[in-house]
Amino acid sequence: MLPQPPVPRAHYRTLIADSDRWNDFEFRTDDIVISTPAKCGTTWTQMICAMLVLQTPRLQQPLDTYSPWLDMLTRSQRDVFTHLDSQTHRRFIKTHTPLDGLPRSAGVTYICVGRDPRDVALSTLNHRDNFDFTALLSARNDAVGLDDVAELLAAGPPPEADTVGGRFWQWIDNATDVTTSGTSLRSLTHHITTFWLCRHDPNVVMLHYDDLQTDLGGSMRMLAKRLNIAVPDSLWPGLVKAATFQEMRARASHLVPDSSHALWKSDEQFFNKGTSGQWQTVLNNEDRERYDNAIARLAEPDVIAWLHKT
């Protein structure tokens, strides 16, 4: 049989990020790539990785200084690459690009975090309400310009429902192609599936938001083991405490994404509730059946069961 040509990487491009930036990035053999769907625990995982790598519960610089979002378009590619190249500690890099859009490099560990999509939907509504779109455009203009914005937003933003329930269903039913849609149920299940198919790879780690909630210390120790990071026993209590929701919310201005561009109306609101099961107060039995039918069309049963922790 003739050898099969390599499968080309998917290209994910939105107003906020462009996965083509990864094309020119030079990995180090011990790099860590944190690749999660939005609102699934990205900042939480970055904080955990920061403390494991740096062996301290108190970061001296903003979190995104240690762990920049490589493909976010509020900073020039040159600035991000130069910054990462200057780092002497083990690098842990943020992205929302699924695994099929990332280059795979020997020795690099790829971490994905999943969460119940119904809670992701509600967290996304808070995220959007707290987001300063004008600040985003200003930062993007300074970094890469706005010449492509008309193309990216050619269809215009969809009209937004005026109720929480209506906005929830817009997120669930969004049928836009995953390479251009940003966050939706379709993009979340696709992202998780790209990792699920490679979950037995020794360099792929899958975490679940609920496990971080119910056993934060155990989850952190598991991750340290997978990353081959030894942590002295005396440090563990302080590291685990610093990774709790309450402690992170108390240091919100130091930990929010892209803190230098003030993208959030309230840094504290970025860490809104941090709980699971919020959706149960929004969906009735008919809604639950509608949701079950929607996700069944987008993902395999084992992926759905894992996301729902059933």
Checking if the pLDDT of 5 tops 60, the result is no
Checking if the pLDDT of 272 tops 80, the result is no
Q: How confident is the model at residue 297 (pLDDT cuts 50, 70, 90)?
A: very high
pTM: 0.93
pLDDT given at position 7: 64
For the residues of 73-133, what is the DSSP string, one character each? TTS-HHHHHHHHHH--SPPEEEE---GGGS---TT-EEEEEE--HHHHHHHHHHHHHHB-H
Residues 91, 146: Cα–Cα separation, whole Å: 30
Q: How confident is the model at residue 156 (pLDDT cuts 50, 70, 90)?
A: low
* Residue 162 placed within a domain: yes
Could you give the angle at which helices 117-130 and 164-173 cross, rounded to 10 degrees? 120
pLDDT tens by residue, 44-89 = 999 999 999 999 999 999 999 999 999 999 999 999 999 999 999 9
- Using an 8 Å Cβ cutoff, are 185 and 121 in contact? yes
What's the number of domains the chain is made of? 1
Q: Tell me whether residue 211 is exposed, middle or buried, using C-beta atoms within 10 angstroms of its C-beta: 0 to 12, 13 to 18, 19 or more.
A: middle
* Residue 12 placed within a domain: no
Checking if the pLDDT of 264 tops 90, the result is no
Q: How confident is the model at residue 6 (pLDDT cuts 50, 70, 90)?
A: low
pLDDT given at position 296: 98
Residues 52, 216: Cα–Cα separation, whole Å: 13
* Residue 117 placed within a domain: yes
pLDDT given at position 310: 78
pLDDT tens by residue, 192-241 = 999 999 999 999 999 999 999 999 999 999 999 999 999 999 999 999 99
Tokens representing 65 are: 């200084």
Residue linked to tokens 């943020």: 94
Phi and psi at residue 270, to the nearest 5°: -55, -40
Mean pLDDT for all residues in the chain: 91
pLDDT tens by residue, 102-132 = 999 999 999 999 999 999 999 888 888 888 8
Q: 275 versus 117: which is more confidently predicted?
A: 117
* Residue 185 placed within a domain: yes
Domain of residue 53 covers 19-308
Which residues have a catalytic role annotated?
Answer: 96
Which strands sit side by side in the sheet containing 109-114, from one edge to the other? Answer: 92-95, 32-35, 109-114, 204-208
Region 126-140 average pLDDT: 88
Which of helix, strand or coil describes residue 264?
strand
Q: Containing H/E element for 51?
A: helix 42-54
* Residue 81 placed within a domain: yes
pLDDT given at position 158: 65
pLDDT given at position 258: 78
Q: 119 versus 266: which is more confidently predicted?
A: 119
Comparing CA positions, the residue from 22, 2, 24 lying closest to residue 10 is: 22
pLDDT given at position 271: 72
Residues 77, 81: Cα–Cα separation, whole Å: 6
Comparing CA positions, the residue from 17, 46, 16, 44 lying closest to residue 32 is: 46
Checking if the pLDDT of 38 tops 70, the result is yes
* Residue 224 placed within a domain: yes
Residues 6+ apart with CB under 8 A from 148: none
Residue linked to tokens 């003030």: 262
Q: Containing H/E element for 46?
A: helix 42-54
* Residue 137 placed within a domain: yes
Residues 45, 239: Cα–Cα separation, whole Å: 13
% of the chain beyond a pLDDT of 70: 95
* Residue 250 placed within a domain: yes
* DSSP 8-state class, residue 158: P
Checking if the pLDDT of 289 tops 70, the result is yes
- CATH classification of the domain holding 54: 3.40.50.300
